[in-house]
Structure 1
Amino acid sequence: MAEFTIRPAAPADGGFLADMVVEAANWRAGASRPRPVVLADARHAAYVSGWQRPADRGVVAVDADDRPVGAAWYRLFGADRPSMGFVATGVPELVIGVRPMWRAQGVGRALLRALADDARTDGYARLALSVDHDNFARDLYRSEGFAVVAADAGRVTMVRRLR
């Protein structure tokens, strides 16, 4: 297992978080939607536009050479501008992305746990996320306490209670 550590995300990490949105959108083997195409979609761009707003919180996994390899973060969205996994005002939605060569090495789980701890410390009772029906990460989310609360043709919304 490769070595990595987790650190808080900073305002300067906005570009890397955008890269992780692209990784999350291209989770299927062989998927290759380019960064400009993914980020031109307002639903994806909303997760990183204007990073780091006051309520934004995130964590970044870095390798032994301090290079970022994955990130998880959350944002609050309003009912007037809901995100893909919006469940209610005041419930942050998380996004997670891990570079392909670092997947299945515990990075995603470590990021999820660190971010859930931060959300709990910040006083949130729940975290939400949206994921494709057939994304293998659903098993990770279930094992970390997320449960499906809504589904549509291609995605499910999952929530984890923190208290």
Structure 2
Amino acid sequence: MADFSIRPAHPADGGFLADMVVEAANWRAGSTRPRPAILADARHGGYVAGWQRPADRGVVAVDPDGRSIGATWFRLFGADRPSMGFVAAGVPELIIGVRPIWRAQGVGRALLRALADRARLEGYARLALSVEHGNFAHELYRSEGFTVVASSGDRDTMVRALR
């Protein structure tokens, strides 16, 4: 496993979290959707707009020099403004992004585990996420206990029980 550490996300991490939304949206090799277009899309921008709201929680992976290399965080969405992986009010949805050079080195798994621990400590019973078909992270999510609960178009909604 690569050398990195995990720390809680802070309000000042909003810009980096936006970078990770862009990484998550551009997961396909050669995908280059521009940052402004991704963040202007309510489906993606909603994951970071107004970070850090009272119920927002996250963790950031940092390299030995203190540079942020990946992050995962969750938000609560309402039925009136659902996100891509919305399952129910009160079930936080997570998003995760890791810089390409750090992928396949255990960063994503460590981030997921740290966020699940945080959500459990805060009393949440489940975490949800949305993943596009063909995304290599799909198997990571399965191996961490997420199961597909719905499919729509080219996406699966996955949920993990925390208790």
Answer whether TM exceeds 0.5 for this pair: yes
Query: What count of residue pairs does the alignment treat as equivalent?
Result: 163
Unaligned runs of 5+ in 1: none
**Structure 2 length-normalised TM:** 0.99
Q: Deviations over 1:80-120 (max 9, x none)?
A: 00000000000000000000000000000000000000000
Q: Deviations over 1:33-74 (max 9, x none)?
A: 111011010110000000000000000000000000000000
Q: Contact (CA 8 Å) 2:61, 2:68: kept in 1 or not?
A: yes
Paired residue for 1:156? 156
Paired residue for 1:34? 34
Q: Secondary structure at the match of 1:55?
A: coil
Spell out structure 1 runs of 4+ moving beyond 2 A: none
Correspondences of 1:7-156 after superposition (within 5 Å): 7-156=7-156
Q: Contact (CA 8 Å) 2:2, 2:106: kept in 1 or not?
A: no
Measure, in 1, the Cα distance between the counterparts of 2:40 and 2:89. 25
Measure, in 2, the Cα distance between the counterparts of 1:2 and 1:117. 21
How many Å apart are 1:2 and its aligned residue?
2.6
Q: Secondary structure at the match of 1:6?
A: strand
What letter corresponds to residue 91 of structure 1 in structure 2? V
Seq. identity, %: 80
What letter corresponds to residue 138 of structure 1 in structure 2? H
Unaligned runs of 5+ in 2: none
Q: Contact (CA 8 Å) 2:133, 2:156: kept in 1 or not?
A: yes
Measure, in 2, the Cα distance between the counterparts of 1:90 and 1:2. 35
Measure, in 1, the Cα distance between the counterparts of 2:158 and 2:58. 19
Q: RMSD value over aligned CA atoms?
A: 0.5
